[in-house]
Amino acid sequence: MARRAISLLPQWSSRVFSLELDGASFYFSLQEKHRGGGEVPRVFRGVQPCDRCYSVLVCSSDRIRQAKFYWELKDKLLRDLPPDCDVSPMSSFLPNVKDSLISGFFLKDSSQSSDRLLRDLIRHDPVLVCSYLRGGDGQLWTQHLWSGPDSQRSQQQYYVVPSEAPECHPATLNIINSDVFYSFEEAREVMRKCGDIIPEAASVMELLPSRAEARGKPDFPVIVIEGLDATGKTTLTESLRDSLGATLLRSPPQCLSPLRARFDREPPLIRRAFYALGNYITAEQVSQQGMKTPVIVDRFWHSTAAYAIATAVSGPVCNLPAEGSEVYRWPSDLLQPSLVVVLTLDPEERRRRLRDRGQGKTEEEQELDHNQLFRLKVEEAYRRISGPACVTVDAGPSADQVLQQVQLLIRGKCHL
């Protein structure tokens, strides 16, 4: 298994490694020959002489299996490793090469008892294990690939050297059709391949349209209302439905509600495909209803993409893909609304409303509630999505005032 994992990763010595530790990113790269001088990569500076360091990277030609195993690996490591073993997120990538990112974990073990678990992992599982050894002078570090359970080190060793942060955050290399889906066929293919391991995937497949296509706009306008929880979306969408004589739809659609809890437990690749397909089911409903009445949609692709991008890209807002990046483009085969309004609200007021509601929240909404940085990334991702872009409306005033402001936007943009 280890040899197969290595064969999936050509250009090993050209890879850069990223380690997330205490909210910061540390980078190092490899050299096949020691060139003298240089400094110790920052991630190794605090390592004590008794510590052993390892990386465990998940790599498989089957990306469903890879996603599932990575999602379960952290729990396995935390459960089976000794308490004094530190486990941190880690990744490896080829700079500026799409889909080159592989994820895993960095282990620092002072008990020196990780070897047996790691040997068991490479015996059967889609992982590549490396150990890191300190040179006699304490300055030089080398990386050794494990070639098999009975031979912990391969003949090849690499010298570990510091590396500059890449121009683009490494997570952005794998966003397209993994964290955010831009095609019905790509999302459907993930769901189809899940059929053997997730019985509920068959139920999702039965609800899908036979195909998606970039249809022209329906006869009546389609208005999407976006925003974080507790910004007043439900009140506004219901008021617009009544005042415009419109049809109100939601994404994810009601038909997927019984399945959401099941897919929320899955790794991002599968969970994001599920929600992406929900947008295509909603689009089919919009196309039908939009021939008869205006349509109001409570959340759509903007939410799906903004939350996924903010979750995938760790660190500060500046780590997000640059404005104008292709990750913010609207899927070419997904119906485009006539107007997208995103409601914004002062964070303290939003938290107060959430407390008053006392309702259960998704994991991502819980993250929004206590993590200001995550909220800022979601809001910035909303702002950068194009085709169509969002129009921002302050949801702080009374519900009637917000309704009047949005009605003015609709009259100006949609001529209703």
Query: Cα separations (Å) of 326 from 10, 323, 332, 386?
Result: 26, 9, 12, 10
Of 413, 311, 414, 412, nearest to 365 by C-alpha is: 311
Question: What residues have CB less than 8 Å from 396, skipping those under 6 apart?
Answer: 345, 346, 349
d(CA 312, CA 174): 9
d(CA 163, CA 316): 19
Residue 252: band (very low, low, confident or very high) from pLDDT cuts 50, 70, 90: very high
Amino acid at 264: D
Half-sphere exposure (Cβ direction) of 74: Cα atoms closer than 13 Å:
14
CA torsion, ordered 142, 147, 152, 158, to nearest 10 deg: -10
**Cβ atoms of residues 106 and 54 within 8 Å:** yes
Tokens 């206590």 label which residue?
370
Q: pLDDT per residue over 290-301, tens digit each?
A: 999 999 999 999
Residue 4: band (very low, low, confident or very high) from pLDDT cuts 50, 70, 90: low
**For the ranges 10-14, 234-238, 256-260, which has the lowest average pLDDT?**
10-14
d(CA 13, CA 307): 34
Is it true that domain 175-414 has CATH number 1.10.730.10? no
Of 382, 412, 406, 414, nearest to 217 by C-alpha is: 414
Question: What residues have CB less than 8 Å from 401, skipping those under 6 apart?
Answer: none
Six-digit token pair at 39? 């400094």
d(CA 60, CA 175): 18
For the segment 226-242, the average pLDDT, to the nearest whole number, is 92
Six-digit token pair at 394? 């302050």
Domain(s) labelled CATH 3.40.50.300 in the chain stretch across 175-414
Q: pLDDT per residue over 314-373, tens digit each?
A: 989 999 999 999 999 999 999 999 999 999 988 888 778 777 766 555 565 666 655 888
Q: pLDDT per residue over 107-145, tens digit each?
A: 999 887 888 888 888 887 789 999 999 887 667 899 998
The pTM for the full model equals: 0.90
CA torsion, ordered 74, 75, 80, 85, to nearest 10 deg: 50
